[in-house]
Amino acid sequence: MTPRLPARLPGTGLVLRPFSPEDEPLVAQALADAEILRWALGAHLHRLPADERAARWLRTRLAAWSEGVPDFAIADPHTDDLTGYIGLRRIHNGNAEVGSWIAPWARGRGLAANALLTAAGWALSPTDHDGMGLHRIALHHSTNNPASCTVAAKAGLLFEGTMRQATTDHTGTRYDSHLHARLATDPDPRQRVPTPS
């Protein structure tokens, strides 16, 4: 069954919404960033000329959304300007993997963790509460990308281990990968009570 995708999911300092064709100029700027190119784009996009990359990437997101795949634009809640991407993929048997990137002009504000909190909270919520009813959300990333460990921890995804040579970059170079996950039965990280020191 295809999930009913929300028009907007509000989060702390952001809103998750569908992409639109008007996002292309900001997508093009973001996809020119070295970190996004290194960690978040497949080899097929690297082979494209830079001026075609954003159009192809955006067409894929728009098509995925129309097929019920939750690929969200992370946007400023006041201006609706694009600040990043978060999406679920490999959705099967109550499980999904999450991928994301934050545009260089929006980094350092906690948007990646807040977007992951928002997307995971929705995806792990029961369908009778307008969620996807998933059981497990997983994030894996290269061990050479430690910022993703920080994001996962802040969003309540627990570290599960290291997968040897499980990640490749656009050059085909293999890297070890960290695996993090959150279950629907885990405590909601937004409800954490600070521990007294």
Domain residue extents for the chain = 9-187
**What CA–CA distance (Å, rounded) separates 194 from 190?**
11
- Look-up of token digits 């990646």: 112
Measured from the Cβ of residue 109, the count of other Cβ atoms closer than 10 Å reads 13
Kindly report the pTM of this predicted structure. Answer: 0.90
For residue 70, CA distances in Å to 6, 21, 122, 169 come to 9, 17, 11, 24
> What would the mean pLDDT of 152-156 be, rounded to a whole number?
93
Q: What is the DSSP letter of 190?
A: G
pLDDT number for residue 92: 94
- Greater confidence (167 vs 190) lies with 167
**What CA–CA distance (Å, rounded) separates 136 from 124?**
7
Give Dmax (Cα) for the chain: 53
| Fold category of 9-187 in CATH | Aminopeptidase (3.40.630)
Q: Are 8 and 15 in contact (CB under 8 A)?
A: yes
Which of 7-21, 111-125, 162-176 shows the lowest per-residue confidence on average (mean pLDDT)? 162-176
